[in-house]
Amino acid sequence: MSGIRSRKSTKIAAKENAKVPFGSIIRTARISKHLSLDYVSSQIIKESGGKISVPYLHSVEMGKRVPKQSYFIEQIADILDINSDWLFYLSGRFPPEDIEAVIGEAEFKHAINNFRNKKDTFRKWHFKGGEWHCNGGNDE
């Protein structure tokens, strides 16, 4: 059974990775724009041409699912006026145009190190009471 994950371990791993606030970001933005779940779900068109369901969008907002489909992330970002790169980051993915870019290992290592050096700045920010706050005293 080496190398094979059971459904249970896959669900546990997905739950551990779902600590990012993707769903709460979506929900907060939707509510602040006074948009209903019905309306937003009717605006997101799947690659097959159908629309996503209200229960699916609700499960995303509640943090039970983190969508991996580019069409979902790009469309919800546009509807809610959220930066799509940030949503890709929160979903654990790179934007499609960045995946298609061909870069060498050294260039990637340099870019990821720059990103990691910025994490201390990112950690200063937290979401509380419906607003973003900076712990460092400097609202950068």
User: What is the spatial distance between Cα 30 and Cα 129, in angstroms, rounded to a whole number?
Assistant: 16
Let me know how long the chain is: 140
CATH 1.10.260.40 fits 7-100, yes or no: yes
Domain ranges of the chain: 7-100, 102-140
> What is the pLDDT at residue 56?
96
21 with 127: CB under 8 angstroms?
Answer: yes
User: What is the spatial distance between Cα 114 and Cα 120, in angstroms, rounded to a whole number?
Assistant: 11
Q: What is the pLDDT of residues 16-48, one digit of tens each?
A: 444 558 999 999 999 999 999 999 999 999 999
User: What is the spatial distance between Cα 33 and Cα 41, in angstroms, rounded to a whole number?
Assistant: 14
pTM greater than 0.85? no
Q: What is the pLDDT of residues 64-100, one digit of tens each?
A: 998 888 999 999 999 999 999 889 888 888 777 777 7
